[in-house]
Amino acid sequence: MNAAQTLQPPPLGVRILGCGSALPVGRLTNVDLEKLMDTSDEWIVQRTGIHERRVFDREGRGESTRTLGVTALKRALASAGMTGADLDLVLVATMTPDMMCPPVACRVAAEVGAGHIAAWDVGGACCGFVFALNSLAAQMRTGLYKTAAVVGSDTLTQHTRYDNSCRDTAILFGDGAGALVFQTTDDASRGLVAQAMHSDGSCWQDLYVPQHVQDFYGEVDESLLSTVRMNGRAVFKFAVKTFQDLICETLDMAGIQASDVAQFICHQSNARILSAARDRFGIPEDRMLVNIGKYGNTVAASVPLCYDELMQAGRLHEGDLVMFVAFGGGLTWGSSLWRL
């Protein structure tokens, strides 16, 4: 055995053992929005596919990015037949941490009963969950961590205003959380097969949340501090193109066709963006879940919410190839192809 072999243990496989999700109790329907701003149920459904979204309630119900994340992870652990004490890594993908410090992941890990394990947050906006998934898979394949969880939890409605000044974003976003639990296996064929992660910071101004007056792109409006600013048309065009480019890139890397993928598990940003990708690749409806109608765009939570819904419906099976795809602020875009 030469030195190189001793330094490179065979890569391990990674299995997804469990999943769970959590949604706030509060609902905001298109009819509710009609009363708050100049919009209509018909316009929203036609342009986005959204009927209602869930909205967290910090004061009344004590809901937060953390509490939703804890509930989702507890459910994922229960479905995996595990407890928090089994975990050795927790990543929380979020762009809405409850506080700048501590990381949400540390409190989530503590509240599910984990020991003094590695726990940190991952940014990446709507791509956060997919970026976290790829970095977790890379670390688990080397055996660095054996049992781990990724949580996507966001409460972006707190950075949205429900009036005419923000009607393009007010209709889109909702709150929620989803979590997946992973474990290494000697079967190296399972787990991450291919991945792609990209960013283009020169387009940052198409989707951002200004925290200071100096952050504004173009006109400064102090009343919009801490409020999502979005160039909807630009993001839409970017998303339609990058979604399709990403799918092509990932299929090519793995040397497979779209028809080999059992499920495309996609960030839910706009039903029209998803249906454009379906048309381009000839993906049947039952291979790309669209649940944006019920939840809106839940940022880092949307991908694990889809995974959990597919699992509950019995639509994911051992050995399936599934592709996670997302894009969002940054601008960022990323994919993760897994063999379940």
297 makes contact with ligand UT7 (CB under 6 A): yes
> Which of 168, 215, 245, 249 lies at the binding interface for ligand UT7 (CB under 6 A)?
168
Please say whether the beta carbons of 270 and 235 come within 8 A.
Answer: no
What would the two tokens of residue 129 be?
A: 């969950």
> Which of 74, 159, 167, 287 lies at the binding interface for ligand UT7 (CB under 6 A)?
167
228 makes contact with ligand UT7 (CB under 6 A): no
Stretch that binds ligand UT7, among 23-31, 132-140, 186-194, 230-238 (CB under 6 A): 230-238
39 makes contact with ligand UT7 (CB under 6 A): yes
Stretch that binds ligand UT7, among 13-21, 43-51, 97-105, 129-137 (CB under 6 A): 43-51
In the complex, the smallest distance separating the C-beta of residue 333 from ligand UT7, rounded to whole angstroms, is 10
Mark residues 256-275: x for contact with ligand UT7 by CB under 6 A, - for none.
Answer: -------------xx-----
Q: Name the residue nearer to ligand UT7 (CB basis): 112 or 127.
A: 127
Decide if 267 is catalytic: yes
Query: How far is 222 from 44, CA to CA, in rounded Å?
Result: 28
SS3 letters for 113-136? CCCCCEEEEECCHHHHHHHHHHHH
126, 127, 166, 266: the catalytic one is 126
204 makes contact with ligand UT7 (CB under 6 A): no
Query: How far is 204 from 260, CA to CA, in rounded Å?
Result: 35
Query: How far is 288 from 303, CA to CA, in rounded Å?
Result: 12
What would the two tokens of residue 13 be?
A: 């496989």
Decide if 291 is catalytic: no
Phi and psi angles of residue 231, each rounded to the nearest 5 degrees, phi first: -95, 85
DSSP string, 296-329: -B-GGGHHHHHHHHHHHTT---TT-EEEEEEEET
List of residues contacting ligand UT7 (CB under 6 A): 39, 43, 47-48, 126, 167-168, 171, 230, 232-233, 235-236, 239, 269-270, 297, 328
